[in-house]
Amino acid sequence: MVLLRTSLGVGLALMLFFLPFTVLFDGLGLSRVSHYFDVYHGSLSWAHYRVTFQPQGTGQRPAPDSWTNTLRYGFNLAHHAALDARLLQTDVALAEAGPLLYDTTAFPRGFSPDSVYYAWMGVRGNYLSYPFGARPVAVVLAYRAAAAPAAAPSYPPQPQWSRPLRLYAWVSLTLMLWFGAAAMAVASLPEYRRPADRLAALLLVLVFGAARGYVDWFDYHTGEEWPIFGPLLTLLLLAGYVYQLFQPESSEEAPAAETEAQLP
């Protein structure tokens, strides 16, 4: 199917072209601006998990706030410290994640080793690095303290907790590919009249819509906001597809031959 191969080739070229700019944007761009990523912007997910821990000391280890770590974790690590704590119970295997961090401006008093903390943590990572083996980081979002020793609740294990996040990361990484392929296929429809080509163009539009919807489902997990850009872009592609179906067939006009002037 020529249309499918051509469209996927264009989409792949667009993805590879914009990928370096995305890396620079996330690693050196707005993610380095103070307070821009104080509210997590969905570089991996909005997923929250439970953790119970007891600090092992009062000291702080500053988080490594370099551009590579900003790129890896998807947010600015300024004003964050690593927590030296004994994990009593978690929803997920934190051995698969990086260190447990907390915002020193949100929790200026730190954490006492004389208390046990029942906390919610957010898993933070960037889709650009997570599919390739980079571990995400866990950040304390909220907590309730109890005097130690305290009983640790039993949380149901989530052995496959990282699988949907990896799928999210791969889908986010290839969104430009699917959009470029769908847009190319829709734009080329008048040149391809076979039912298989028209079906391929519709399939690419639906794949992009499904991919965009999956990313939005994670990014707008809290329900406080609703996605606008993704659904609007999908509707525009579908409208363009329907419009192109009724366009006349594209035909190449042969160059007109010049006739010799007849002599009287």
In this prediction the pTM is 0.78
Domain definitions of the chain by residue range? 2-21+174-245, 33-160
Task: Give the separation between CA 143 and CA 85, rounded to whole angstroms.
Answer: 14
Task: Quick: pLDDT tens for 186-225.
Answer: 999 888 888 899 999 999 999 999 999 998 887 776 666 7
pLDDT band at 9 (very low <50, low <70, confident <90, very high): very high
Q: What is the pLDDT of residue 246?
A: 84
Question: Who's near 103: CB < 8 A, 6+ residues apart?
Answer: 38, 79, 80, 139, 140
70 or 228, higher pLDDT? 228
pLDDT band at 95 (very low <50, low <70, confident <90, very high): low
**What percentage of residues in the chain have a pLDDT greater than 70?**
82
Please name every residue paired with 138 in a beta bridge, in sequence order, or none if there are none.
Answer: 100, 123
Average pLDDT over residues 31-58: 67
Q: What is the pLDDT of residue 238?
A: 95
Task: Give the separation between CA 228 and CA 213, rounded to whole angstroms.
Answer: 11
Task: Give the separation between CA 124 and CA 74, rounded to whole angstroms.
Answer: 7
Q: Is there a contact between 165 and 125 (Cβ–Cβ < 8 Å)?
A: yes
